[in-house]
Structure formats: structure tokens, C-alpha cells
Amino acid sequence: MLVSQKNELHVLEEGHVTSPAGYISGGTHCGLRRKKLDFGWLYSETPAAAAAVYTQNSFQAAPLKVTKQAVAVEKKLQAVLINSANANACTGKKGMENAELMQQWGAEMLQLPSHYVAVQSTGLIGVQLPMEKIQAGIAQVDLSANEAEAFEQAILTTDTVTKHTAVEMEIEGKPIFIGGAAKGSGMIHPNMATMLAYMTTDAAVDADALQRLLSRSTDRTYNMITVDGDSSTNDTVIALANAAKETSVLDESHPEWDKFEAGFQLASEILAKKIARDGEGATKLLEVHVQEAATSEAARAMAKAVISSNLVKTAVYGADPNWGRVVCALGYSGEEVDPDAVDLYLGPIKVVEDGLPTDFSEAEGTAYLEQDHVVVTAVVKAGQAEAAAWGCDLTYDYVKINASYRT
């Protein structure tokens, strides 16, 4: 069912990572969690052009390293295997051996070269993978059924909802789909998050162009979200293009590339916003727009500073229209801001004009902030660039969840 249209793009109400042709996904319970699904797989019927971006944390988990090595061989993947509950991070030589073994077992099960198999883990840091359970999960991989919802459930940790989308467009007269699935709820910060995301398309895309596209899109979407200021050890976004629709190979020279890039960006933005809205303990989605900045980089830095401010996040939770916290964050963003030129809006309510408070109604400001989707807009009047960032409020429940994470 099509529910929205923008620039010839259609967002599917129940779109999934397997909405594009030629992909199969599923999930199972292998004993890493008590009852919930904890092992998932994503499979392309043919080798797919692959691109990936990874956490900027210096402590990179073993499965991330194995996946990075796999993608580097041919810039192709055919399968991704993911376990939740255990991150296989900070696990030393044994952890690396286990990640490689997980890849090897998956390749044997699926009859693929090892470098066509990516492995991913998410969950508790510093604990070795119980490999007998991983082996049991791999043995249950079933390519005869396509169960996208089971895949989405299997990759979750503290998430409260699954996160998925698909965008449809027409390229060379053919219906082309871009699908996506993600997980992420805590340890979310603009240099990636405790998040995993998977983007798929049935278009043919040059691998190098796909990597450039993924990097650009990540900078504008996944790297523009925050929940709590912590960057995880396992964060990865993988993009696959399997050419199931047999288009010409797309790259920046293709006449419809801009449309394809817009669809990819839209799918990424939808997933990023879903991650931000599902922040641990969150009750509201917070969206920050910076307009009329000197450069795109400056706009992104200012938006990130506001969305990352704990004082802003707690004010949103308490429905307190304390706009001073927003301008304070703009000021310490590291970008040059003229304090006498800034206009600030809480939704439609202008609370600051040219750096001075307006005579707005506090009651109206409070009423607006009580909504579950809050938009803050800063107009800095220094140029034509703009950026958006997404996050959530900071609540008592966030502390409760993370105080008892291991218990």
C-alpha cells in the first residue's frame, strides 16, 4: 500500500528489507536470549554489490572486522548473519576466532565463499559468544520462507519496536525498490549508534558508487541522530544491490541517479528517525532543523549540538519551553554564530527573533512540547545551507533501563 509520494518516490506502509526482488530474510531462537528471537539472516539470491560504513569507536568488535575484510575482497556479499544479546566486542583473539568461525559455518551452510558472508553481533560487550548456540542458529537458516518480521525481531536488543521501510520508484521504466531494516535504541550518538542497519535494492549499482552514496547518506541521516551521546563498538550499515531488475548499472553519470539517491536517502532517513524515536525510555521524537547556515557542515554541527544537549532533551521531556538551552548549544557547537541574528521556533511558535525573546505564550510553548513529536528550528542567517538532526527526550526510564542492563 502506497502512503506517501515525494519527488516520484513512494513509501510503502509495510515495506521491508526484502521488498526489493531477490532477497530472503528470517529469524530464529538459538538460546542467546530466554525466549525472544536472537539470530537472523539476510540473503541475496545472487551476489550483490556491497558497501558498508562502520563505527568510529576505536574499540571495534570482532564481527565488524570480519565483515570489513569480507567486503574488501570483491565488494560483494550474498548473506549477512546476525546475532543479538552478545556483541562479541572486547573479546580478544578468541572473539576474532569465533567471528571467523561464525562466518565459516555460515558459508558452509549456504554453500558460499566465506567472503560473501558478513557477520554481525549486537548486545553485551566483553562476553565470548557461546558458539554451540551460534552453530544451532546457523543450522536453522531457512531460505524456503521469507520472514522479514522475524529477521527484524531477531536483531533487536533493548528496542521496543522493529524498524523497517521500503521506497519504490521507477528507473528506466522499471519499478525499483529500496528496502531497509535497522535496530537501535541506546548508545546512540551522531558518529553512528549501537545500531545495525541494512539497505537493499534490486537495481544494478556500481559498488564504488554505492559506497559513495552510503557514506553521503549516512552523514545526513544515521550520523545525525543521538539518544545518549554514546557511540557503540559494533555499529554498521550495509547496503546491497543485487541487479534483480536488470537495469543499466547505476552510478553518478546515470540520468536517473538523482532519483535513486533521493530514494536511498529517504529510506535511510525514515530508519534513522525510527531509531531516534525508540530511544531507551523515550516518550518523544525530537527533530532539530538549522536553516540559513554558512555551510552544510556548519548546519550539521549546530543541529548535532542541539540534539545532543542533555539540557535540551530534559527540557523537552518536562515540556519546558526553555529556549535558552537551545541557543546555548548553538553557541558551543564550534561554528561561528551571530547571536544577534538568530531566530528560533518551537514548532510554529517563534520564541526568539534576532537573538531576543519574543512575547510568546509560555502556556502555548508548554502545550506544544507536550506532543510526541517536537520540532525545533533555528534560523542563523549566515547563508543558504541547512541540516536536520533527530533524537529524543531524556527520561527517568533511560536511567532505569541502563542501570539494570546486565541484570
Which are the catalytic amino acids? 194
Alpha-carbon distance of 232 to 61, in angstroms, equals 9
Instruction: Give the number of other Cβ atoms within 10 Å of residue 405's Cβ.
Output: 11
What distances in angstroms separate CA 205 from CA 11, 77, 212, 274, 307, one per listed residue? 21, 13, 11, 26, 34
Alpha-carbon distance of 229 to 190, in angstroms, equals 8
Give backbone dihedrals phi and psi of 73, rounded to 5 degrees, phi first: -65, -55
For residue 341, what is the DSSP state?
S
Among 23, 61, 57, smallest CA distance to 40 is for 23
Alpha-carbon distance of 164 to 170, in angstroms, equals 21
Task: Give one DSSP letter per residue of 69-94, joined into a string.
Answer: HHHHHHSEEEEEEEE-SB---S-HHH
Residue whose cell numbers read 568461525: 101
Alpha-carbon distance of 260 to 80, in angstroms, equals 24
The alpha helices in 81-126, defined as continuous H runs, are 92-110
